Structure 1
Amino acid sequence: MTRTRFDIPSRDVLEARQKLVLDHFHDEVDHAWDDVLSTFPHPHYELIPTLTVHDGDAEVRTYYHSTRVAFPDQDHEIIEVRHSADAVIVEFWLIGTHRGPLGAIPPTGGRFRVRMTAYFVFDENENLICERIYFDTLTMLKQLIGALNFKDPRSLFKLVKALRGLASMTRAPDPRLLSTSVPADLQH
């Protein structure tokens, strides 16, 4: 029998999913990348605010590396964990200090605390197939740039570099995130 959007799995399945997701979070904080990647048969991240996809071991490892160079102390505070028919949904605060370049944006030394939601999507065989993340990039950038001391001329130079870096990071959205369709059971 095929599972539908209304068929919530058993408590055992929900508990197993939640354990996997919480282990995933813990291993990210510990920079235990092999352990994090082992939670997926095929690692796949979708960052909705930037419309980027990191697909496969190499791309996801590059994503981990670049974010931890920018924010070596990146951590989280979980707000809530919820369950759906095919996902574990985690609301959390992501926190960290901007110590290295974030793409072309130079480090500001600023701390950030941004509320996020991550959907950990499972297939019909209970394999984690995607982590889809939603957050407000403007809130993060305001906190990072707000850390600059605008009375110091060097900070103005850093602000210009940060704005140029941000502008240079503009790229075409990943088409996999743009070509969506209404599920058949929701069409009129």
Structure 2
Amino acid sequence: MTTAPPTPPDTDAAAFVAGLRRLKAWSGLSYRRLERRAAEAGHCLPYSTAASMLGRERLPREELVAAFVAACGIRGAEAEAWLDARTDIACGPVPVPTPVPTPVPTPVLADAAPAAAPAVAAPLNTAPARTRPPWRTRLTLVGAAALVTALLGGATASGVFTDDEEVHETRTSVRL
């Protein structure tokens, strides 16, 4: 480890995972050794999870990135840079607020008749509205439907929707 560690890319999930692969190659550690070093740093990073994480193109969970970076020997501000890059990719870029121009007051002459003051519109929020991608909306609806189904199923199974009358007589037949 005589060279500087790779810096985290913050473009997309695939580039971020490729950066994690470069970080592993830079560390020169095996997956089993990464597991042991993560445990020494107080993290939980099974070797199979680390291998799966680097074999995919999806963005890993924040706690996995923290454990992996610590296991590779990255500490302090460099480790925070990796976590910040992961958060930026997961949440999208932070919109930069545009400055709202302030209206310039018009001078009023003493001998002139007071003119109607021009209406000043309230400043509009020019930041683009963040919209959810369609797959996320569908995923939320599917999750809500599954939750309602589970709750109704549990209530039905527990007998909430049945009458509480006791059965006074049961008839059973010995013959089938």
- With normalisation by structure 2, the TM-score equals 0.28
Greater RCO (CA < 8 Å, at least 6 residues apart)? 1
Greater percentage in strand: 1
Compare CA radii of gyration and give the structure with the larger one: 2
Greater percentage in helix: 2
- With normalisation by structure 1, the TM-score equals 0.26
